[in-house]
């Protein structure tokens, strides 16, 4: 009889009632449990619990009974708060879901996105929208009362998972930002943590005043001597119309990157004694009054419909409902920094926020403190680069003849790889071409790198010092890749199948050229003597980018963990977790993309080029006035990233006899007998080759980029009559257009 009772109990448990997904998240969070802890207790994967909480999947027996039991006990401890009748109506009216977006064509090539030198925030408003459709809006939470901006409505319990709560600093208790929208004639501010505020402001100047005086938005500084983050207000199209702004920009305004200075809203701001920065009122506008003492009065605006959230980096973020957009940007703000412009601008601002130019001095004889240089920062004044580090058109090169083409002995040219070679007969007998991609390659290149913080010093016939950042004029043409040191031993390799580590195109140098310190240090590591004839060195130096790398690394790893890709997975489990990870939570996938773009864009801004404005060669451009315009730092990071990749390639070749057939930035393609990375990476009992490629999500480790057949590769090269066409450019999905010549 007991067996029958057990069978009946099991049958009832198989239909155990579970609360809605949002309530499951609330109960877990209320008890301070992490998804990992729940997954461990129920003996399931982390992604499984995440799926239950998002409503994408439902638990099945026997886990369903245990999960229902857990939630029942938590519900007894943490009953759902009753919604105040004065604030919450009996029912919620759901906003209509946005229409499905059209498909986005293939994005830019990896090397184009690798280290861009331009902000690229102003692209045509007619740019295609990514394929990821914005999710339907949840039931609209009721705003707090008009007389109070500090109360959180009971509807907060329906906030999405992974949404950061308001700041602990009472000045910023409502979080770093708000998305302002108009619903049924009401102006509402959607904040992080599910909070919705009623906005009484009738004009844009009034909105700025409200933001600074009542909204309690912003974020505390990231560094002791730094500054608090200004509040960010995101304006939807409905909010733009309410405050008299165009919902989209005209072609002329898109080209200019701003609305005209005689616009009525700008006149309103001027009458209210608000000012705009030099870039004017564009997709990312800063509205401020001059600081009085240590008090700042500045509000940052973000206007998605003006393409503030570039689809290449933010995907369909601009199409999200207000609450979802607040959640996405809020997580970015909590893990990285409050957005202050494009991902490139934000990446550069993060460097400064972590290393402010000045700090308060020790008290003087009168007990007063003064502003002084903050050690390890770039300072508050720009420094000139060395002539070899200056890009074409720089004022330092104004005396060069017109149309002069500088040789490698005249300029520093440290760029990412774009190299390929014909396949050997043996490689053509294999079936597959497998691409692997280095995670956050340029972030990993910045980790632990000593860079100059001051002005360069010119030296003749210097002794090379691998610890001294700078640019060195040296002849490396004698380095023979057929015989190199790998660790402490010499290795015999097929040098014709390896790219040179000293040039982006992989060609062997033919004479003296300028190189950054990591490149010259690698020649010494390979076992060869170097004798520089000239150098520009920076004796003031520091590991300036360490904190920047660590914050972006932590942000990336936390986001990938939210997507079910943990940092300590076995190789097979990692490849499985990476398969389709973007579909598990499209918003977190957008966040991962934005974090990676912050790395690449921030480094690119270190050598920002002229952006129109009537510039002519030989004249200074706006970016040169920034202390963060440092082409030497960008060159050092790229140099180290390229060298890190070449070191792994050499180690792999010396151990396996396998050589890459194509490299594009941080993507490497090998010919293999099987379709996956484990078919050619030399793992033994789950352990990788020391010093070689290792599968994993951490920066510097590799993931599977794509697989195509060897026959496909030969057909593509034959089609373009290019035996050295870089197949790494197309390995991800195999798509090659008729207009693509491989350049």
More confident residue, 461 or 25: 461
User: Which residue is associated with the tokens 């360490």?
Assistant: 546
Torsion of CA 38, 43, 45, 48, to 10 degrees: -70
- In this prediction, residue 210 carries a pLDDT of 97
pLDDT tens-digit map of 49-76 = 887 887 778 888 788 888 888 888 888 8
Sheet with strand 702-709: strands edge to edge: 418-420, 662-664, 667-672, 432-438, 702-709
Residue 103 has pLDDT above 70, yes or no: no
Pairing of strands 232-235, 177-183: parallel
The residues with which 490 forms a beta bridge, in sequence order, are 485
Q: How far is CA 263 from the centre of its chain?
A: 34
> 157-161 long-range contacts, Cβ below 8 Å, gap at least 24?
157/22, 157/23, 157/26, 157/80, 157/81, 157/194, 158/22, 158/194, 159/22, 159/193, 159/194, 159/323, 159/327, 160/25, 160/323, 160/324, 160/327, 160/587, 161/25, 161/29, 161/50, 161/53, 161/54
Residue 139 has pLDDT above 50, yes or no: no
- In this prediction, residue 293 carries a pLDDT of 66
Band (pLDDT 50/70/90 cuts) for residue 529 is very high
Give the span between the Cα atoms of 504 and 267, in whole angstroms: 50
Band (pLDDT 50/70/90 cuts) for residue 736 is confident
User: Which residue is associated with the tokens 């029942």?
Assistant: 72
- In this prediction, residue 118 carries a pLDDT of 42
Do the beta carbons of residue 414 and residue 519 sit within 8 Å? yes
Band (pLDDT 50/70/90 cuts) for residue 21 is confident
pLDDT tens-digit map of 357-405 = 998 888 888 888 888 899 999 999 999 999 999 999 999 999 999 889 9
- The mean pLDDT value for 221-237 works out to 94
Percentage of the residues of the chain whose pLDDT score is greater than 70 = 85
Band (pLDDT 50/70/90 cuts) for residue 1 is low
Residue 140 has pLDDT above 70, yes or no: no
Residue 121 has pLDDT above 90, yes or no: no
What three-state secondary structure class fits 66?
Answer: helix
More confident residue, 141 or 672: 672
| Mean pLDDT taken over the chain | 86
Q: What is the CA angle 383-118-318, rounded to 5?
A: 130
Give the span between the Cα atoms of 335 and 77, in whole angstroms: 31
**Structural domains of the chain sorted by starting position, each given as residue range(s) with its CATH number in brackets:** 2-77 (1.10.260), 143-339 (no CATH), 387-415+447-542 (no CATH)
- The mean pLDDT value for 169-183 works out to 94
Residue 549 has pLDDT above 60, yes or no: yes
- The mean pLDDT value for 137-153 works out to 41
Nearest alpha-carbon partner for 505 in 647, 603, 609, 642: 642
- In this prediction, residue 110 carries a pLDDT of 39
Tokens encoding 222: 């990231």
Backbone angles phi, psi at 14, to 5 degrees: -65, -15
Band (pLDDT 50/70/90 cuts) for residue 650 is very high
Nearest alpha-carbon partner for 170 in 213, 210, 217: 217
Sign of the CA dihedral running 388, 392, 393, 398: positive
Give the span between the Cα atoms of 87 and 678, in whole angstroms: 58
3-state SS string over 236-264?
CHHHHHHCCCCCCCCHHHHHHCCCCCCCH
- In this prediction, residue 27 carries a pLDDT of 86
- In this prediction, residue 651 carries a pLDDT of 97
More confident residue, 144 or 395: 395
Band (pLDDT 50/70/90 cuts) for residue 81 is low
Do the beta carbons of residue 303 and residue 235 sit within 8 Å? yes
Tokens encoding 204: 């844009």
- In this prediction, residue 126 carries a pLDDT of 38
- In this prediction, residue 30 carries a pLDDT of 77
pLDDT tens-digit map of 678-719 = 999 999 888 999 999 999 999 999 999 999 999 999 999 999
pLDDT tens-digit map of 581-622 = 999 999 999 999 999 999 999 999 999 999 877 899 999 999
- In this prediction, residue 117 carries a pLDDT of 47
- In this prediction, residue 3 carries a pLDDT of 62
How close are the terminal C-alpha atoms of the chain, in Å?
77
- In this prediction, residue 392 carries a pLDDT of 94
- In this prediction, residue 17 carries a pLDDT of 80
Residue 738 has pLDDT above 80, yes or no: no
């Amino acid at each position: 009889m007991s067996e029958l009772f057990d069978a009946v109990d099991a049958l009832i448990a198989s239909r155990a009632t579970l609360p809605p997904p949002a309530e499951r998240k609330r109960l877990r969070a209320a008890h301070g449990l992490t998804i990992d802890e729940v997954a461990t207790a129920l003996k399931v994967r982390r992604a499984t619990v995440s799926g239950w909480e998002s409503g994408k999947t439902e638990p099945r027996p026997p886990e369903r009974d245990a999960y229902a039991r857990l939630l029942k006990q938590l519900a007894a401890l943490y009953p759902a708060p009753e919604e105040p009748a004065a604030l919450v109506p009996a029912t919620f009216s759901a906003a209509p879901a946005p229409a499905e977006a059209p498909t986005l064509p293939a994005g830019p090539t990896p090397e184009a996105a690798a280290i861009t030198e331009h902000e690229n925030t102003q692209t045509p408003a007619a740019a295609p929208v990514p394929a990821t459709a914005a999710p339907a809006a949840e039931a609209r939470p009721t705003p707090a009362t008009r007389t109070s901006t500090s109360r959180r409505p009971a509807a907060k319990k329906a906030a999405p998972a992974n949404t950061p709560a308001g700041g602990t600093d009472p000045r910023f208790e409502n979080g770093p930002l708000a998305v302002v929208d108009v619903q049924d004639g009401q102006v509402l501010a959607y904040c992080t943590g599910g909070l919705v505020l009623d906005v009484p402001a009738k004009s844009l100047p009034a909105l700025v005043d409200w933001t600074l005086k009542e909204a309690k938005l912003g974020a505390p500084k990231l560094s002791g001597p730094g500054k608090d983050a200004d509040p960010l207000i995101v304006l939807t199209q409905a909010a733009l119309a309410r405050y008299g702004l165009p919902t989209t920009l005209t072609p002329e305004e898109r080209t200019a990157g701003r609305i005209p200075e005689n616009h009525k809203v700008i006149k309103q701001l001027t009458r209210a004694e608000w000012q705009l920065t030099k870039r004017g009122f564009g997709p990312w506008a800063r509205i401020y009054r001059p600081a009085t003492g240590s008090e700042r009065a500045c509000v940052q605006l973000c206007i998605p419909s003006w393409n503030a959230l570039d689809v290449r980096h933010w995907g369909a973020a601009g199409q999200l409902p207000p609450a979802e957009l607040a959640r996405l940007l809020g997580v970015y703000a909590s893990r990285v920094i409050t957005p202050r412009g494009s991902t490139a601008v934000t990446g550069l601002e993060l460097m400064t926020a972590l290393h402010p130019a000045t700090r308060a001095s020790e008290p003087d004889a009168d007990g007063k403190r003064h502003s002084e240089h903050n050690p390890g920062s770039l300072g508050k004044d720009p420094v000139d680069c060395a002539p070899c580090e200056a890009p074409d058109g720089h004022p330092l090169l104004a005396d060069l003849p017109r149309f002069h083409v500088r040789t490698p002995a005249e300029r520093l040219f440290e760029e990412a790889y774009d190299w390929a070679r014909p396949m050997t007969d043996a490689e053509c007998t294999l079936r597959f071409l497998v691409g692997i991609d280095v995670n956050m390659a340029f972030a990993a290149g910045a980790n632990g790198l000593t860079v100059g913080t001051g002005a360069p010093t010119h030296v003749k016939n210097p002794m090379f010092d691998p610890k001294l950042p700078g640019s060195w004029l040296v002849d490396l043409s004698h380095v023979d890749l057929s015989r190199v040191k790998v660790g402490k031993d010499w290795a015999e390799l097929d040098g014709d199948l390896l790219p040179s580590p000293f040039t982006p195109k992989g060609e062997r140098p033919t004479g003296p050229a300028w190189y950054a310190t990591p490149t010259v240090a690698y020649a010494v590591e390979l076992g060869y003597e170097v004798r520089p004839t000239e150098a520009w060195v920076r004796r003031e130096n520091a590991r300036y980018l360490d904190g920047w790398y660590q914050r972006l690394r932590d942000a990336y790893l936390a986001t990938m963990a939210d997507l079910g890709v943990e940092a300590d997975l076995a190789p097979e489990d990692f490849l499985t977790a990476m398969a389709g990870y973007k579909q598990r939570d499209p918003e977190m996938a957008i966040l991962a993309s934005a974090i990676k773009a912050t790395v690449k864009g921030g480094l690119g801004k270190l050598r920002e080029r002229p952006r129109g404005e009537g510039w002519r060669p030989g004249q200074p451009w706006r970016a040169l006035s920034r202390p963060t315009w440092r082409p030497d730092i960008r060159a050092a990071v790229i140099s180290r990233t390229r060298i890190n990749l070449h070191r792994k390639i050499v180690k792999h070749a010396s151990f396996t006899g396998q050589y890459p057939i194509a490299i594009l930035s941080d993507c490497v393609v090998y010919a293999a007998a099987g379709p996956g990375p484990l078919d050619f990476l030399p793992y033994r009992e789950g352990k990788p080759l020391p010093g070689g490629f290792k599968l994993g999500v951490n920066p510097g480790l590799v993931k599977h980029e794509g697989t195509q057949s060897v026959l496909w590769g030969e057909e593509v090269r034959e089609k373009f009559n290019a035996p050295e066409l870089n197949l790494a450019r197309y390995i991800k999905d195999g798509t090659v257009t008729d207009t693509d010549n491989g350049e």
